[in-house]
Amino acid sequence: MEQNENLLSNDLQIDSIAFAHLKETAMWAKFLGIVGFVISGLLVIVAIFAGTFLSKMMQASPYNSAAGASMGAGFLTIIYLIIAAIAFFMSLLVFRFGTRTKSALITSDQNSLNAGFGSLRMMFRVYGIVMIVYLGVILVAMIGGLAAVAFMR
């Protein structure tokens, strides 16, 4: 806490080097946000068609039931839609950081800069939560795989 107070009491300034770094970062953030929006849209399209495609393939197989095929396809669609929603939200936060930071640098508006950094903070928070959930799923899958191997013997 003492270090934060020292930083604030020194009245940090954005010098020309930090300004150039922030300007370039904002440009790339906008670009990555737009690309993320496109990828999110493509994931939604894939979600719709992958579920249908998987369902048709499984129904054509003589070893699978129609109910199982529909359930598997529905699960796949839901997973892809969840991934698309997370990707969209992350892209939105990155895009907001880029646009708000660029606007702040052009207009020297402290509130826009604060809002831009707020979006960046939120993006890293969501990224951290997604990573924790992902690692948890991997851990559960590994434990399940080890348990399956142990019970097969």
Give tens-digit pLDDT for 81-94. Answer: 999 999 999 999 99
> What is the maximum alpha-carbon separation in the chain?
73
Residue 2, pLDDT score: 53
Contact by Cβ (8 Å): 50, 76:
yes
Find all residues with CB under 8 Å of 130, minimum gap 6, and list them: 86, 90
Q: Where are the alpha helices (DSSP H) in the chain?
A: 2-9, 16-60, 66-107, 110-152
With 90 as the cut, is the pLDDT of residue 71 above it? no
Q: What is the pLDDT of residue 57?
A: 72
Which pLDDT belongs to residue 115? Answer: 95
Nearest to 101 by CA among 21, 7, 43: 21
Buried/exposed 10-38: b ≥16 CB within 10 Å, e otherwise = eeeeeeeeeeeebeebbeebbebbeebbe
Q: Residue 47 pLDDT more than 70? A: yes
Residue type, 93: L
Given a cut of 80, whether residue 98 has pLDDT beyond it is yes
Over residues 102-124, mean pLDDT: 94
